[in-house]
Structure 1
Amino acid sequence: MNQNNHTRVTEFLLLGLSDDPQTLLLLILLFLGVYLGTVLGSLLLIYLVLTDSQLHTPMYFFLCNLSLADLGLSTVIVPQAVIHMLTRRNIISFMGCAAQIFFSIVSGATRCLLLAVMSYDRYLAICNPMHYSIIMTGKMCGQLALGCWVSGIVTSSIDTLFTLCLPYQGDNKIAHFFCDMPILLTLASGDIHKAEMTIFFMGIVILLVPVTLILMSYGAIILAVIRMKTTSGRLKAFFTCGSHLIVVILFYGTLIISYMTPKSSREQMK
């Protein structure tokens, strides 16, 4: 492909993780193992929730939606990465890259909002148990889940549009194994300030606002747990919320660093 500065990029070259055959084999096995585990785990959880009436609760309903978001994110990235490693042809079309960015952001943004909704669910269950069943009705749960997915689609549409409307000329090498928006911005030939500011604003809406709500919810939960008189009640509350809080810290921390750090700051860190 002609790489002069006046040629519009029609495909990207994914540099991947390694060129060593033995390392690639290990990566393929690792990726397949993680992906199959994600698929089987997500489908098993959804099946159990659908078939077991005792699991027809708001918490497991949101877990099913979270599993769907995880499954979508893994399916958008992993199969294509494995195919590229097997064929050693790491080329992806411009539209293929656009689709990968769009669907990965949909899954990621939806997961961000679902984690916030789940923290609110735990807050109501622990801090306001008398009104929990009145507030978290089936209709309310459905509306919250639908709102998360619609917001994820809107966010992804805006971020993808502002990213891909930039001119891409010359350099088409992506130093990653899939199309990721922050890395793609570094290849843009024009001024990316407007795109960065838009993505930063959407990050505030999708990342910082939910994180703030989660921290407020868990602050109230911790106070409520401290006031509990029984040790068993405290342990049950911590067991219910502990794993969710760990996922929140790891997930949001990674996304905030990746998507809310301007290009100039990332270049300085390099």
Structure 2
Amino acid sequence: MQTAAALTMVRDDAFFLAAWLCHYGGALGRENCYVINHGRGPEVTALAEGCNVIGIPGDAHKNFDMKRWRMLNNFVMGLRCYYDHVIVGDVDELVVLDPAAGRDLLSFLRETPVNRVLTPLGLEVIHRTDVETAPIGERILGPRRHVRVAPHYSKPCVVSVGTKIARGGHFTQYDKLHTPEHLYLLHLKYCDRAAYGAAMDRRNAMTAEIGTGIKGAAVGRHWFAEARGEDDAVFDGFSQLPMQEGFDMAPLRRRMQRSWKPRGETGYWEFDRPAQQAQYLLPERFVGLV
């Protein structure tokens, strides 16, 4: 058995795919990266050279997200036959290990017991346009150092047991909560003002092609132009988030554990996900990690 594979599905998101490939290709080896190319885009194929690229039709569909996660679930279960751990998520989500752990991600997974689901603590990398004026180059962390806590993105995304993952990847039917101390999921949606606008334009165009409203589609509200709001207002708002001292995330993990419970009668499990109006400055040791 190989130690770990990473799996994502992407359609035209070259900016985020490049970051995903740099991170997981470097950490796990491109031969252990699986990219589902929705629409068989040639740019995705070119960027993901050396990875396992699976092309699928790109037809727009109102139940896009349901179909996507049904397929990802099946791929995860198949890859588990050959890998101890499978990391699955959106192309703008990266599982990282705090360098304070003293080892890299692959070493950490190699030493982690199987037959469980790991839930990294979710952090959104935010572009503080008022103070972060340098463009992103080969690495994101450096030009961007600010994060906000995002319980919605504390996803059960490192899988080494047979389970079902809910649409969006937010819940599984595994009944225990493992939140390793140094493990984080970085959500990159807001890491760059220009990249955000371009991605939202593409998603708005896709939902317009579907031709149904928010209530008639199994796609996140943020994919619809009418729910988008003003991009500048979104990024201007980041400067208003209260800045927290230090970088102690242990209380947040304890809060997740205390609220762990069944998600109604669905068979899934969850923890409370209160909105967090706070931001942190990533310690210097994270620079260059992504």
Q: TM-score range by the shorter chain?
A: under 0.3
Task: Flag the structure with higher helix content.
Answer: 1
Q: Which structure has the larger Rg?
A: 1
Instruction: Considering Cα pairs closer than 8 Å and 6+ residues apart, tell me whether 1 or 2 has the greater RCO.
Output: 1
Task: Flag the structure with higher strand content.
Answer: 2
TM-score, structure 2 as length reference = 0.26
